[in-house]
Amino acid sequence: MGAISSTPQKPCSFVTWVNNDNYALGALVLGHSLRKVETKHKLHLMYSKGVSTRMLELLKMVWDEVSSCDIIDSKDENNLKLIQRPELGITFTKLHCWRLTQYSKCAFIDSDAVVVQNVDDMMNYNEIAAAADMGWPDFFNSGVYVFEPSEETYRKLLEFALEHGTFDGGDQGLLNMFFKEWHLEGADHRLSFCYNVCPSAAYGYKAALKKIGTDIKIVHFMGHHKPWHCNKGVTPMPCFWSLWQSIYHEKVRE
Amino acid sequence: MGAISSTPQKPCSFVTWVNNDNYALGALVLGHSLRKVETKHKLHLMYSKGVSTRMLELLKMVWDEVSSCDIIDSKDENNLKLIQRPELGITFTKLHCWRLTQYSKCAFIDSDAVVVQNVDDMMNYNEIAAAADMGWPDFFNSGVYVFEPSEETYRKLLEFALEHGTFDGGDQGLLNMFFKEWHLEGADHRLSFCYNVCPSAAYGYKAALKKIGTDIKIVHFMGHHKPWHCNKGVTPMPCFWSLWQSIYHEKVRE
Ligand SMILES: O=c1ccn([C@@H]2O[C@H](COP(=O)(O)OP(=O)(O)O)[C@@H](O)[C@H]2O)c(=O)[nH]1
Ligand SMILES: O=c1ccn([C@@H]2O[C@H](COP(=O)(O)OP(=O)(O)O)[C@@H](O)[C@H]2O)c(=O)[nH]1
Ligand SMILES: [Mn+2]
Ligand SMILES: [Mn+2]
């Protein structure tokens, strides 16, 4: 009675993944933005071949842990099958996040996103938690999601992908078919859209943006136009574009 | 024991509202589309000043019940206050659907929508049930929603609107603030996007449309471009545009 459990709790972590130096610039800004909002969780970056040694050094200065993942070189049977489905390669690499079993829970965030307000409360949600995709809101957008690392889930995802492929050619289609019931789940699986706002939201429903704008927590520059491509974006949310640029210039570029 | 309750069950109804002869063309097509999918529920049309006598005769041929609602002429105190807020007039008119207490449950459908497959199962959902808005998916689109008629709710909605107004100038902003917790509710409040697909969905996420297309139940021509405006729409979903046109030519125009 009164004994305090001494089982060490596994930590939680934010996770991203990059495979080249351009997206790595995004990961640097993302990492710094998470520091800026004073997250108490770990920052874990996965990288694949294509990230330069120099860039990796920079990344290590802001991300607590980095690990490499390169499925195509792997030798196990599932991955051999995968080599016959090269279009799934990129998708599968992202799935490696489920193997980060040193963490009890994680939030994956695309490297083309920037955190605006503290989002540590994401770790209170349950797998799979995500926000609706604007294009077809029964599906979640896979740029931001909460998951529970598990070798078992990883294996099932791999099997599922090999059997069913992915209807949109990316991880979003795959994850939405695997976690098919997401849109029927309750509040512990549904992140507010404020956790994954894409700038084009400003086109569709200006009044909503005006009403909700100050609640925005994560801005995700999904699509072709990435903030590291140029200085002045023709973006419908110039304030967030500027936020990205200011972190970039203050923390990354000098 | 064995006694069968003789309390008559109130029926359920689909409901729309129109205030001019253009939208009335939409309501005719909507009504015929509901007949075509053999709904077993009632069809109730609310109309306001602006619908011609001749059009009303046509509407009565497909809608079981019609009723007029004209808040501005009303004499009660709430409505007097409302006269000082003329911008809320149109919004409030739609809210009159909550006064249809002859029904136990209703599904409101905008008159610029067409039903593609039977949607009688909408009456199994609970107030408020609706589908996410593509523009800001934490909000529901108020073109299609399941509600429970109640004078009490109507009064509360009126009071709420007088106090808070509507952030987007329409009923969607008002209903989303009144039913503020919608995006946190469970499956009995969340209609699949298939119950309120707007044609612009075809732009954003083509792969999703291809995968889900055959499940679409209601197409909603939201926005400026309405199918009664011209014969050939520059619409991203030509098949549904054609469906509207074919019902129009077969059932309405001759
Ligand atoms: O060539 C690539 C493509 C993608 N990614 C990673 O995968 C994520 C998803 O891709 P992207 O953000 O381009 O997709 P979008 O959000 O635009 O659909 C990126 O944020 C990166 O973290 C990467 O590192 N290299
Ligand atoms: O001048 C109008 C405007 C609206 N409506 C009714 O209110 C609904 C909502 O308006 P609308 O569909 O034009 O809005 P949208 O769906 O394009 O946002 C319509 O479908 C009609 O049922 C109407 O009868 N007359
Ligand atoms: Mn992205
Ligand atoms: Mn409409």
B111 lines ligand 2 (CB under 6 A): yes
Start-end of H helices in chain B? 21-36, 53-62, 77-83, 89-95, 151-164, 171-178, 201-204, 206-212, 238-247
Angle CA B19–B23–B27, to nearest 5: 105
- DSSP H or E segment with residue A212: helix A206-212
- Of all protein residues, the one whose alpha carbon is nearest to atom 4 of ligand 1 is A18
B232 or B154, greater pLDDT: B154
B93 lines ligand 2 (CB under 6 A): no
- Please give the share of chain A, as a percent, with pLDDT higher than 90: 66
Q: Is the Cβ of A178 closer than 8 Å to some Cβ of chain B? A: no
Q: Which string of DSSP letters, residue by residue, matches B162-186?
A: HHH--TTSSHHHHHHHHTTTGGGS-
- pLDDT score of B166: 85
**CA gap A234, A224 in Å, rounded:** 12
- pLDDT score of A224: 82
Contact, B187 vs B126, CB < 8 A?
Answer: no
What is the maximal distance between C-alpha atoms in chain A? 63
- pLDDT score of B74: 45
**CA gap B115, B117 in Å, rounded:** 6
pLDDT band at residue B236 under the 50/70/90 scheme: confident
- Of all protein residues, the one whose alpha carbon is nearest to atom 11 of ligand 1 is A222
- pLDDT score of B41: 98
- pLDDT score of A79: 60
A157: Cβ contacts below 8 Å, ≥ 6 apart: A95, A98, A174, A175, A178
**CA gap A111, A40 in Å, rounded:** 19
- pLDDT score of A2: 47
Q: Per-residue pLDDT tens for A213-243? A: 899 999 999 988 889 987 555 667 888 888 9
Q: Is the Cβ of B195 closer than 8 Å to some Cβ of chain A? A: no
- Of all protein residues, the one whose alpha carbon is nearest to atom 8 of ligand 2 is B110
> Region A80-101: what's the mean pLDDT?
77
Q: Per-residue pLDDT tens for B25-49? A: 999 999 999 999 999 999 999 999 8
Q: Is the ipTM of this complex over 0.85?
A: yes
Q: Which string of DSSP letters, residue by residue, matches B204-231?
A: H-HHHHHHHGGG--EEE--SS--TTS-S
- pLDDT score of A74: 46
pLDDT band at residue B217 under the 50/70/90 scheme: very high
> Region A189-218: what's the mean pLDDT?
91
Name the DSSP letter for residue A4.
P
Query: A12-192 is classed in which CATH architecture?
Result: Alpha-Beta Complex (3.90)
- Please give the share of chain A, as a percent, with pLDDT higher than 70: 87
User: Beta-carbon neighbour count of residue A162 at 10 Å?
Assistant: 16
Task: Tell whether the model's pLDDT for residue A80 goes beyond 60.
Answer: no
> Region A157-163: what's the mean pLDDT?
88
Provide the token pair at A104.
């009890």
Domain ranges across chain B: 12-192
B200 or A103, greater pLDDT: A103
B87 or A23, greater pLDDT: A23
- Please give the share of chain B, as a percent, with pLDDT higher than 90: 66
**CA gap B110, B235 in Å, rounded:** 19
Q: Which string of DSSP letters, residue by residue, matches B38-54?
A: T--SEEEEEE-TT--HH
Under an 8 A CB cutoff, do A134 and B204 touch?
A: yes
- pLDDT score of B1: 44
* Mean pLDDT value across chain B: 89
Q: Is the Cβ of B190 closer than 8 Å to some Cβ of chain A? A: yes
Q: What is the three-class DSSP state of A171?
A: helix
* Mean pLDDT value across chain A: 89
Q: Per-residue pLDDT tens for B158-203? A: 889 888 888 888 899 999 999 999 999 999 999 999 999 998 887 7
Provide the token pair at B140.
């529901």
- pLDDT score of A206: 86
- pLDDT score of A1: 44
